[in-house]
Amino acid sequence: MQVTTLRAALAAGPSAPATAPGLVRTAWTALTARPATTAVLLPAATMFVLGLWGLDRDSMWRDEGVTHQVATRSLPEIVRLLGSADAVHGLYYLLMHVVLSVHPGEVALRLPSVLAGAATAALVAALGVRLARPRVGLWAGLLYAATPLTGYYAQEGRSYALVAAGATGATLLLERAVRHARVRDWCLYGAVVVGTVLLHELAALLLLAHAVTLLLSWRRLDRQVWRSWAVCACASLTVLLPLARLTLGQGESAAWLGGPEEGGAASLLKAVAGPTELVLTGALLLACVALNSPLERTGRLSLNAVALPLMVLPPAVLIVASQYTPLHHDRYLYFALAGAPLMAAAGAERIARGVRMLRSRSGRRAGGALFGAAVVGLAFCWQLPLHRADRTTEQRPDDPAAVAGLVDRQLGHGDAMLYLPSAGRRTALAYPDAFRGTKDVALARTAVASGTLYGEETGARELRNRLAGLEHVWLLAEPYAALPEWEPGDATERAKLTVVSEEFLLRDEFPTRSGVLRHYIRRPADKPVGWPPPAE
């Protein structure tokens, strides 16, 4: 009947204004007829649209560039690379190899993250539906989609949005397995957990959150639940062990990491619950209401028992562990974000019941759900400047495309090039067209041929010989490498600095926020080192 009415309204066309109210009523009836389905689909659609907004920024930041240049290699070349570097992202690179084999562009690079973000919003909503009721799921899913941090990682060509989808999906499957106690549900739960930890091994902290969820619900669980979960957890950790052993041998890949800075926990909370003070305050107040007055259970697990450990334990454990070894970064904890909107939505539901906003009639129930969705919309509008900023290159750590454009304008065919340090070659690997025709003076073997991320460089003596016959050379330095106080530990890197300072003069310099491009010319014999004299 609803479909027939809708078709009739569409067939009447714009010439029949009387059909417009009927069309609205039909759409409203369709939305309210199956509230659980609507509660899941609306957040997914919202997140998908937000993910597509400004997706093509015409610039891949450095980690996205690594994803692109690794995933576009052949499968044997990727496998060879993972034996020496970046094994922690191995499964993601293999997945992206399939995606980029269809179309190796920036939109295709980020599209899996967009889809993962939409899936996570749907899964958060489904958790709210299962653990409470449809409007709680609707509010939680929309809150997840409206969070700026979600939009940020949903538009990044890295694995973190996929990890979040896997972690949230595993949490939903845990609730299902505990509720029904079927072998197939536990097998599916274990498979999703394995896939998630293989996407990023720190997602294994999810198992700790799930263990605490079961502990908080121990009175309602039998031994079979514990045995089944323990088998899944042990199987997941067993699969993870070879990857962990391999990545431990690649510790230099995480050398840039440090412990959390002072106030790191507060900044993480602000990023997760709401960057603006008003939204953060509201989210915290709602979470406190949910803690003080928990919603009744609809199954064996309560919403608080699921959401609170997921939101709190992975960040707390990683922050503590980072006091002893460099592990901390907010993006490694992004998968824990799903717990925050669930707690806020539960608090909103408790307040809605307290003020008797919703009556028994279905129209009032739908009106209450719509009112909550409108409040989430206001929160989104309040944070709209943050969403807009996140869709610009300025909000990313660097902008290699700008550097590539500079090189394309300044360098000519056959010009000699040095990269300081060698990892700076990632700009050339991400945007090879801008560097085509230039001569990489220090390169001994390419990244693909050597099975490395950035290639292998020649020794210091050979580098000096290669530079000896050059009248001019260009040097592309990372921002930290351009500082006078930087002291490289590698002999070849030291030779680059020594030769250009002793045998060349700086002619031009082009600074950018992502690096410095310098042009050096051979020092004349009558102008020794130390010339020109410093200005008085």
CATH code, domain carrying 462: 3.40.50
pLDDT the model gives residue 325:
74
Q: What is the pLDDT of residue 387?
A: 92
One domain for residues 361 and 440: no
Give the pLDDT score at 42: 96
Measured on CA atoms in the order 263, 264, 266, 267, is the torsion positive or negative? positive
pLDDT at site 112: 97
CB 131 within 8 Å of CB 306? yes
pLDDT value of residue 371: 84
355 in the same domain as 268: yes
Q: Is residue 9 part of a domain?
A: no
Q: Tell me whether residue 378 is in a domain.
A: yes
232, 350: one domain:
yes
| Token pair for 445 | 């073997």
Residue 20's pLDDT is what?
A: 58
Based on the domain organization, do 364 and 300 belong to the same domain?
A: yes
Residue 148 has which token pair? Answer: 């700026």
Residues 124 and 62 in one domain: yes
Look at residue 14 and tell me if it is in a domain: no
Last residue of a domain, one of 365, 395, 425: 395
- Whether residues 86 and 188 share a domain: the answer is yes
Task: Tell me: do 464 and 376 sit in the same domain.
Answer: no
Residue 421 and residue 441 share a domain: yes
The CA-based dihedral angle spanning residues 398, 403, 405, 407, taken in that order and rounded to the nearest 10 degrees: -170
Please check whether residues 374 and 439 belong to one and the same domain.
no
Last residue of a domain, one of 337, 362, 395: 395
Quick one: 384 and 439 in the same domain?
Answer: no
pLDDT of residue 219: 86
8 domain residue, yes or no:
no
Is 1 among the domain residues?
A: no
> Residue 254: inside a domain, yes or no?
no
Q: Please tell me the distance from the alpha carbon of residue 375 to that of residue 249, in angstroms, as a whole number.
A: 49
470-480: b or e for each residue (b if 16 or more CB lie within 10 Å)?
A: beebbbbbbee
In a domain, residue 488? The reply is: yes
110 alpha carbon, distance to own chain's centre? 10
Local confidence pLDDT in tens for the 536 residues of the chain? 444 444 444 444 444 444 656 655 665 565 566 889 999 999 999 999 999 999 998 889 999 999 999 999 999 999 999 988 888 899 999 999 999 999 888 999 999 999 999 999 999 999 999 999 999 999 999 999 999 999 999 999 999 999 999 999 999 999 999 999 899 999 999 999 999 999 999 999 999 999 999 999 988 899 999 999 999 999 999 999 998 888 887 765 555 555 555 445 566 666 766 777 788 888 889 999 999 989 888 889 999 999 999 999 998 898 888 777 777 677 888 999 999 999 999 999 999 887 765 454 444 556 678 888 888 999 899 999 999 999 999 889 899 999 999 999 999 999 999 999 999 999 999 999 999 999 999 999 999 999 999 999 999 999 999 999 899 999 999 999 989 889 888 899 999 999 999 999 999 999 999 899 999 999 887 665 555 544 44
Question: Are 304 and 231 members of one domain?
Answer: yes
> Distance between CA 50 and CA 405 in Å, rounded?
29
C-alpha to C-alpha distances, 262 to 271, 273, 313, nearest whole angstrom: 15, 19, 19
Query: What does the alpha-carbon distance between residue 202 and residue 192 come to, in Å, rounded to a whole number?
Result: 15
What's the CA gap between 50 and 378, in Å, rounded?
15
Query: Is there a single domain that holds both residue 169 and residue 297?
Result: yes
Write down the pTM of the prediction.
Answer: 0.88
Residue 371 lies inside a defined structural domain of this protein: yes
**Residue 45 sits in which domain range?**
34-248+264-395
What is the number of other CB atoms lying within 10 angstroms of the CB of residue 512? 15
Whole-number Å distance between alpha carbons of 50 and 350: 29
